Copies of this chain bind each other. A is one copy, B any other.
Amino acid sequence: MGAPASGDGLTHFDGDGNAVMVDVSAKAETARVAVARGSVVMAPATLALIAGRGMKKGDVLSVAQLAGIMGAKRTPELIPLCHPLALSSVGVELSLDPQACAVHIEATCKLVGRTGVEMEALTAVSVAALTVYDMCKAVDKAMRIENIRLIHKSGGKSGIYEAKE
Contact = CB atoms under 8 A, between A and B. Distances in A.
Interface string A11-25: 111101111111111
A100 interface: no
Interface string A121-147: 011001101110111111101111111
Contacts of A60: 10
Given A8-B53, A62-B58, A118-B137, A88 B80 contact: no
Interface in A93-118: 93, 108, 110-114, 118
Given A1-B108, A119-B133, A57 B59 contact: yes
A113 to B, nearest CB: 7
A20 to B, nearest CB: 5
Given A63-B66, A88-B25, A108-B1, A9 B49 contact: yes
A83 B23 CA distance: 20
B66 A77 contact: no
Contact of A81 (B108, B112, B135): B135
A119 to B, nearest CB: 5
Contact of A126 (B66, B90, B110, B130): B130
B149 A19 contact: no
Contacts of A91: 1, 14, 18, 20-21
Q: Which 3 interchain pairs have the tightest Cβ spacing? A: A17-B58, A23-B89, A17-B57
Interface of A: 1, 6, 8-14, 16-25, 31, 38, 49, 52-54, 56-63, 65-67, 69-71, 73-74, 76-93, 108, 110-114, 118-119, 122-123, 126-127, 129-131, 133-139, 141-150, 153, 161, 163-164
